Amino acid sequence: MLDVSDIMTPRQNLVVMRPESTVEEVRRAMATNKIRHLPVLDGTGSLVGLVSQTDVLVAGNGGARTVREIMIPDPETVDERDNIRNAALLMVRHKRSCLPVIRERELRGIVTDSDFLGVAITLMEQSEAVEPDADDLDGSDEL
């Protein structure tokens, strides 16, 4: 079984925000990097929240508002060693499209619904590769 670390976006590839960042800064970061979720870290680097594209849309033209005002504080997280099934169930249960990935309280990455779609596509491709063709099942092959 795959672990979350096998499919997550690692910390070094993430764009992060501070609670003091403005909604406009978040909007620009999301547009520039073509992403929908940003972890929010405090001055010590601890995860304190998560801001999503939906949060930014709901904030409307409140560009001067801070991330602290619109973020999801203390979001559900998953450990990088957890299996992906448990992470997917957590996302479904809490209706989240991403989860910050931690290990020993340190942000290690993020796993999104897109990461799970990638896994699903790979599994479908593998399944199609081993499924017999319809011609193989009709019994018309005579020896």
- Distance, C-alpha 63 to centroid of its chain: 24
How much of the chain is helix, strand and coil, in % rounded to 5? 45, 25, 35
Q: How far apart are CA 60 and CA 69, in angstroms?
A: 13
Model confidence pLDDT, tens digit, residues 38-92:
999 999 999 999 999 999 999 987 668 999 999 999 999 999 999 999 999 999 9
DSSP E strand stretches across the chain: 9-10, 37-41, 47-52, 72-73, 78-79, 98-103, 106-112
pLDDT at 123 over 80: no
Please write the tens of the pLDDT for every residue from 24-50. Answer: 999 999 999 999 999 999 999 999 999
Q: Which CATH superfamily is domain 4-129 in?
A: CBS-domain (3.10.580.10)
> What's this model's pTM, rounded to 2 decimal places?
0.81
Domain spans, the chain: 4-129
Q: How confident is the model at residue 105 (pLDDT cuts 50, 70, 90)?
A: confident
